[in-house]
Amino acid sequence: MSGNEQRPVATIDPGLIAPFRQIPTAVISDNLQRLPGATSLKPFYKGPPMAGIALTVNTAAGDNLFVHRALDMIKPGEVLVINGGGDETRALVGEIIAAIAEQRGAAGIVLDGAIRDSAVLMTSPFPVFARTANHRGPYKNGPGAINEPVSIGGMVVAPGDIVVGDADGVVAFAPERASHLLEMARAQEQREAEILASIRAGRYQGAYGK
């Protein structure tokens, strides 16, 4: 069992993260050239969008030993981003792990794998994203690693990346892109609001005008 457990250096003002809870992941994706973004992950919670800083975990398929180790390291505002290899045969996260993460101030959990206790999680405001639900529990043998780049639903997430999730899915990006990305996303939202207003007013002439 191994893993780099050195904490990532914070490279972003936490105050810049909160506005991304108001920006749809679709708009963020559009302004990242529609390239980053996890596929096949869906929300298992009932609450507002998620935004936070990635604490990354690589695990063996069906094993959550390093998920528990990461819980001992997590800081407020971080998102536990777990590469479970896309395995759906055993749940790596359930009600207890989600409760611990929430109590320690985590911003959410993103898992490329399965969860269980879905009925409970689906009524909770704490953000959890995963592929599916499965009642079968995990092993706790390892191996794994913490604070290394992970692949989540085809999207690479580095330690310290900003992770945003909503009803449409999950997207992540490097913190140094945050300020410019937020500016572009807000501009797109303004353009789309104007288009919708023109549709309601009967003035819309198509995507390219006339």
Residue 65 pLDDT more than 70? yes
Q: What span, in angstroms and rounded, lies between the C-alpha atoms of 132 and 111? A: 10
Q: What was the pLDDT predicted at 9?
A: 47
Collapsed DSSP state (helix, strand, coil) of residue 44:
coil
Question: What DSSP designation does 189 have?
Answer: H
DSSP string, 101-164: HHHTT--EEEEESEE--HHHHTT-SS-EEESEE-SPPPB----EEESS-EEETTEEE-TT-EEE
Distances (CA, A) of 180 to 28, 33, 34, 152, 196: 11, 14, 16, 24, 25
pTM of the shown model: 0.91
**pLDDT tens across 145-178, in order?**
999 999 999 999 999 999 999 999 999 999 999 9
pLDDT at 146: 98
Beta bridge partners of 165: 50, 170
Q: How far apart are CA 59 and CA 144, in angstroms?
A: 4
Separation of alpha carbons 152 and 43, rounded Å: 14
In the chain, % of residues over pLDDT 70? 92
In order of 73, 102, 194, 203, the CA distances from 191 in angstroms are 42, 36, 5, 15
Q: For residues 17 and 164, give the distance between their C-alpha atoms in angstroms, rounded to a whole number.
A: 9
Q: Is the pLDDT of residue 42 over 80?
A: yes
Evaluate if residue 117 carries a pLDDT over 90.
yes
Q: How far apart are CA 190 and CA 177, in angstroms?
A: 20
Does the N-terminal peptide bond of residue 143 adopt cis geometry, omega within 30 degrees of 0?
Answer: yes
Tokens of 106: 């985590």
